[in-house]
Structure 1
Amino acid sequence: MECWPWRVVVVLGVLAGICWADARRRRFKHIASLRGKHVVITGGSSGIGLSIAQQCAAEGAYLTLIARTLPKLEDARRHIIASLNLPTDSIRLKSVDVGNAEAVAVAIRDSFEWRPIDVLVCSAGILQPNFVEDMKPSRLEEVTRTNILGVMFPIQSTIPLMKTRSAHHPSSIVIVGSLSACVFLYGTNIYSPTKCALKGLAELLKFELLPYKIGVTLSCPSFTQTPMLAEAFDEAEEFVAMGEKIYLVAIKELPDDVARFTIEGFKRNEFFVSTTYQGVLVRTLGRGFVPPDSFLTLLVEVLLIVPLRILTFMWGIYAKHVLLTNEVPIKRKV
């Protein structure tokens, strides 16, 4: 019995040593600096994509912004250049529908010919709140094409180009997803499934690209104050109100905060980036088969998983009560 205290001390010492070594390892970055790097951003004209663009430019990166609407792209470039006092030729624009494979391939190739692509950020996406049964097939196809194929097409076009130089120039692919990949988001029909698909795509790419020094980062913010979310909220206040009751959350993140966490994440080659404390809890429950990036994260998640499972059981009872005792949002044919 007298040996037990020493064994505990030894175990704690070993764990502390592993955590210390892990922390030192994490200090070495996959991409040490963005100065002189070329960052291509889809959905770069507004929201999270624009915030990522601004912060990358502030660190000295060259940018290619890809979005559907040219006037919005031009406004974004003017905003970045004016706020950072940058030369106009440090930012290029590509007015492209990310759901058009041929147009995306041309835009990516032209961007690479201007400057080799170091980081691809896929931030384009759309949201249309409604019940599944009330969405027109054409709208379902539009959301699916933009949110899934609109991420797949740029990645598919970029990977072969990155492989030509990634052995000596580490590169990164960043997918801006959503916490709705881990927990369903009431009233968003096909949106949540598309984010689940992006999580699966990121997991696949992480291991497919491992031999080529191409990092993969999945950033999963919660509700973020973007034009897309503001428009969705204006169109479907009743869904928003019900969602706030179900999830006990009314806080919206700032795009600049999401961008900061995302950039630091892909620099360190983190796979699953959470941008809030609530996100860390949801990530613990919804991580899936892909392991954490560090032993310390593993240790935290092991300690959290059982209490969180109990909490989700209790939350399930509460959510059912909310849905059964409140008026169902009005259905709209869209």
Structure 2
Amino acid sequence: MGEDCACCCSLSVGIVIFILGVAIIDWIKRMQRGKASLVGEHVVITGGSSGIGKELGIKSAERGAHVTILARDVQKLEEACKEIRSRVKSSSQNINFFKADVTNYEEIESVFRRCEVEVGPIDILINCAGYAFPSKLEDIPLHHIKGMMDINYLGTAYAVRSVLSSMKSRRKGRIVCVSSVGGLVGLYGYTAYSASKFAIRGFCEALQMEVKPYGISVTVSCPPDTDTPCFEEENKVKPEETKLISASSGVFPPAKVAEDILRDTLAGDFFTTTGMDGNLSTMLNAGMSPMSSVFGLLLQTMFSGIIRLVSLGYLYSFNRIVENCASKKEKRKKLE
């Protein structure tokens, strides 16, 4: 009996060591893929004139890619292009820009055709165009409810649709869609914004299933609060409750977020995020999303239950913030 127990124990230890070994090897390979060169690759970025989009242009150029950025403001595009050109790896790299409105399908499709003719086939499409107008639902101007859905979701869907036939014919391509941690967790003040960003996550899950047979990968980025011009504008109208909830996660530099997006995209990950809260959110919301990492699967399997309990603690604290703010508002009303 004792020998049987010892054998079972040894077998269990052996299985655990084997699984850990496979996970570690997988993690090492993933890190190597994430450092891959982009020499000769054509990277196209919507919303590339500022913030995360511009930093992605810089990071791509530093790895040797041809970079094309798209946005609506020509002056900002010119300034961003100049900055990206200063970071190229080789003088042979083509750094270009086009004025484009992602909410106009005919326009974005036409611009992409010009990109392919003038620079070459699009190898990586990164959809960064988007904005937020945080407010209570009854206080959000209707044009912002529609505007966030048009730019954040439809702008992404239009851009992706425009490159699919070319990528499928070459059986090659990477598609990155920038959602948000607010596209995984609905928070006070983000009713309209979260709806547009949650849509991107569902879009990417279905898209990955469609394009996988053609050798095309899909990555959905869920960055936390990032120090960008859009974030500055967002803070001007952000409710007190939203500010207090967001403060618990901190604000990240766009260069760090861009580096994480590029690394995880090249590694073939479906989710990419930055920071502890972002990683907890993606693990908790894995659901039926694709899994490209044995290491990630191991973490999700081991810690999902614990993370669910932690998330309830977060939710409790967020609800307390909302309740305290409501109480303060009621007291102010009575004093008035």
Residues 160-199 of structure 1: matches in 2 within 5 Å?
A: 160-166=165-171, 170-199=172-201
Q: Distance in 1 between matches of 2:233 and 2:247?
A: 22
Q: Is the 8 A contact 2:64 2:89 kept in 1?
A: no
Structure 2: gaps spanning 5 or more residues: 330-336
Shift of 1:302: 1.8
Deviations 1:232-284 (A, max 9, x none): 11233xx2x42343356151011111111111111121111122222111111
CA distance 1:309–1:294, change in 2 (3 Å): same
Q: Which residue of 2 aligns with 1:289?
A: 288
Q: Distance in 2 between matches of 1:43 and 1:245?
A: 28
Q: Match for 2:106 among 102, 108, 113?
A: 102
Shift of 1:90: 1.7
Q: Which residue of 1 aligns with 2:61?
A: 57
Q: Distance in 1 between matches of 2:89 and 2:297?
A: 43
Q: Distance in 1 between matches of 2:53 and 2:124?
A: 13
Q: Is the 8 A contact 2:61 2:87 kept in 1?
A: no
Residues 185-264 of structure 1: matches in 2 within 5 Å?
A: 185-236=187-238, 239=239, 241-246=240-245, 249-264=248-263
Q: Is the 8 A contact 1:180 1:192 kept in 2?
A: yes
CA distance 1:225–1:117, change in 2 (3 Å): same
CA distance 1:103–1:247, change in 2 (3 Å): closer
Residue type of the partner of 2:60?
C
Q: Which residue of 1 aligns with 2:308?
A: 309
**1:121 paired to 2:126:** yes
Deviations 1:274-299 (A, max 9, x none): 22222111111112212432222111
Residue type of the partner of 1:198?
I
Q: Match for 2:77 among 61, 73, 79?
A: 73
Structure 1: gaps spanning 5 or more residues: none
Shift of 1:88: 9.8
Residue type of the partner of 1:97?
D
Which SS does the other structure have where 2:191 is aligned? coil
Q: Distance in 2 between matches of 1:306 and 1:133?
A: 36
CA distance 1:315–1:261, change in 2 (3 Å): closer
Which SS does the other structure have where 1:252 is aligned? coil
Shift of 1:27: 5.8
Residue type of the partner of 1:34?
L
Q: Is the 8 A contact 1:98 1:154 kept in 2?
A: yes
CA distance 1:3–1:248, change in 2 (3 Å): farther
Shift of 1:328: 7.6
**Count, aligned residues:** 324
Q: Which has the higher contact order (CA 8 A, sep 6+)?
A: 1
Q: Is the 8 A contact 1:96 1:107 kept in 2?
A: yes
**1:19 paired to 2:23:** yes
Q: Is the 8 A contact 2:128 2:177 kept in 1?
A: yes
Q: Is the 8 A contact 1:68 1:95 kept in 2?
A: yes
- From the two aligned structures, give the one with the greater helix fraction: 2
Q: Which residue of 1 aligns with 2:275?
A: 276
Shift of 1:85: 8.4
Q: Is the 8 A contact 1:179 1:222 kept in 2?
A: yes
Residue type of the partner of 1:185?
L
Shift of 1:61: 1.0
**1:151 paired to 2:163:** no
Output the aligned Cα RMSD. 2.3
Percentage of pairs with the same residue: 30
Which SS does the other structure have where 1:288 is aligned? coil
Q: Is the 8 A contact 1:174 1:217 kept in 2?
A: yes
Which SS does the other structure have where 1:293 is aligned? coil
Shift of 1:203: 0.6
Residue type of the partner of 1:106?
S
Q: Which residue of 1 aligns with 2:333?
A: none
Shift of 1:59: 1.3
Q: Match for 2:142 among 132, 137, 144?
A: 137
